[in-house]
Amino acid sequence: MRVNVTYSVDLGEVKQLIQEILLKIEDDVEEVSGNFLATQDNVNSDNEKEAVEAIEKCRKNLSSIDHSLYDCWNILNGYQQTLLQMKQANSMEEAIPEKNVGEHVEGG
């Protein structure tokens, strides 16, 4: 069973978090590759039971890969939106003229 967990990290830690997830995905891809080769070998050797088991392992790993990639996609979307909001906020601050403190303007 999969469950979504939400937690916050510093903005500067987002890329490291993504890298950690990608390393896990890379391990899963390698496992899929190994199980795929095992499936082929088992089919060629008439070991259907082992082939079925290897296919099931491939499917589980592919599902895990898909979920992890979706997590990366969501994290990067949020990261990208945050950077855009920060950029827009900085642009707005630059566009607002600063008030000179202590100056009086008299009307006539």
Residues present in the chain in total: 108
Query: Per the domain annotation, does 108 fall within a domain?
Result: no
pLDDT in tens, 81-93: 999 999 999 888 8
- Report the alpha-carbon distance of residue 74 to residue 1 in Å, rounded: 20
Reported as a single tens digit per residue, the pLDDT across 54-81 is 999 999 999 999 999 999 999 999 999 9
* Residue pair 36/58 in contact by the 8 Å Cβ criterion: yes
- Tokens representing residue 107 in the block: 């009307």
Q: Which domain holds residue 49?
A: 13-95
**The model's pTM:** 0.76
Give residue 93's pLDDT.
81
Task: Count the domains in the chain.
Answer: 1
Measured between alpha carbons, how far is 82 from 80 in angstroms, rounded to an integer?
5
